[in-house]
Amino acid sequence: MAFNLEEVRPSRPSLPPTAEADAPAQSAIRAYLLSRGNSAVSDAAFRWLMLLSGLSIFAIIGIIAGELIAGSRLTLAKFGLHFFFGTAWDPVSGHYGALPFIYGTLVSSLIALIIAVPLSIGLAIFLTEMCPKPLRGPLSFLTELLAAIPSVVYGLWAIFVLAPILRDHVNPVLIHLLGWTGLFAKPNFGIGMLAAGVILAIMILPIISSLTREVMISVPRSQREAVLALGATRWEMIRMGVLRNARIGIVGAIILGLGRALGETMAVTMVIGNRPDIVKNLLSPAYSMASVLANEFTEAADSTYLSALVEIGLALFIITILVNALARLLVWAVTRGAPARAS
């Protein structure tokens, strides 16, 4: 009973001969296909349409940048680069320096990231790897609901709920424990840089966590099994088999969250304190670029003032681009040589 293919091969039924009845139908299909031509026109039209969509991005960016530069001609000519490094903002006496706003935007966004990144990655890990099934749906729904709340509502909540909590319960502890760093000191109003950072953290949490969850889910099961088979614990499996493969997507999620934090206007305006100072103390009032635009645009009586505000818009535009470029550079440096995603 050794292998003898000829003997053991089961007899297979041969294919039925082409039925005569099918012939007319088949030739109709063939005739139709032949009559379609080479589709060169529709293909070219499609290509041009897509090219146009791609190029429109350049046009939009170009128009925005052009408008911002044109609108800030006056102050650009008058102060030059000093505008971006000046610390005094006094429209009455004609002093315009944007540094306090740049500082406020960057620091409040940084606080937001420091709070939101670990929290949202933790939430994403819990949702994808550990959450009991019945809880998974409601929890992701609630997380995504956070993203749908209008920012003015966040602002109101921050004024009436968050700021008093910070003032009465959190800030005293921070002053007591970390006062020596100089980052937390009296006077303790509740509103200020820290409050802005915390409300921003809550606002960007849903973006970062839901995108992180998506990339974690897309890591193939074979990667998790590869790590488990090596004798990994659950946490080691998540670290080596999931987070490592998802890291580029996670950085992308963080960049998107940061983008929202940098540009957020309403909620920040309501709790940051709106004082153009650069101080180390995170509990004192500060100001951000988007906030000063929202607050002072209607008050800009003379053309220099208006030009200064538009130039702050330009600065925000440039800083957003710079921060994004830097983040991408970071991703590139970390993952150099390694392919972007799991196979």
**Residue ranges binding other proteins (CB under 8 A):** 1-3, 8-10, 220, 222-223, 225-233, 236, 240-241, 244-245, 247, 335, 337-339, 341-343
| Residue 339 Cβ vs other proteins, minimum distance, rounded to whole Å | 5
| Residue 214 Cβ vs other proteins, minimum distance, rounded to whole Å | 18
According to DSSP H, which parts of the chain are helical?
A: 5-8, 23-35, 40-71, 73-79, 82-85, 99-125, 133-148, 151-157, 163-165, 171-178, 193-217, 221-229, 234-237, 244-263, 266-271, 289-296, 303-334
- Interior/surface letters 179-192, b for 16+ CB within 10 angstroms, e for the rest: eeeeebbeebebbb
Q: Which is nearer to other proteins, 244 or 275 (CB)?
A: 244
Q: Which is nearer to other proteins, 1 or 301 (CB)?
A: 1
| Residue 340 Cβ vs other proteins, minimum distance, rounded to whole Å | 9
Q: Which is nearer to other proteins, 239 or 275 (CB)?
A: 239
Q: Which H/E stretch holds residue 89? A: strand 89-90
Alpha carbons 150 and 153: distance in angstroms, whole number: 5
| Residue 163 Cβ vs other proteins, minimum distance, rounded to whole Å | 43
Q: Which is nearer to other proteins, 131 or 183 (CB)?
A: 131
- Interior/surface letters 307-334, b for 16+ CB within 10 angstroms, e for the rest: bbbbbbbbbbbebbeebeeebeeebeee
Q: Which is nearer to other proteins, 70 or 135 (CB)?
A: 135
Sequence-separated (6 or more) residues with CB below 8 Å from residue 306: 71, 300
| Residue 226 Cβ vs other proteins, minimum distance, rounded to whole Å | 4
Q: Which is nearer to other proteins, 159 or 240 (CB)?
A: 240
Q: Which is nearer to other proteins, 233 or 303 (CB)?
A: 233
- Which of these, 108, 75, 105, 151, lies nearest to 289 by C-alpha position? 105
| Residue 338 Cβ vs other proteins, minimum distance, rounded to whole Å | 5
Angle, in degrees to the nearest 10, between helices 244-263 and 193-217: 140
Q: Which is nearer to other proteins, 9 or 176 (CB)?
A: 9
φ, ψ of residue 95 to 5 degrees: the values are -100, 125
* DSSP per-residue letters across 246-272: HHHHHHHHHHHHHHHHHH--HHHHHHS
| Residue 142 Cβ vs other proteins, minimum distance, rounded to whole Å | 23
Can you tell me which residue has the tokens 């499996």?
237
| Residue 118 Cβ vs other proteins, minimum distance, rounded to whole Å | 21
- Assign 235 to helix, strand or coil: helix
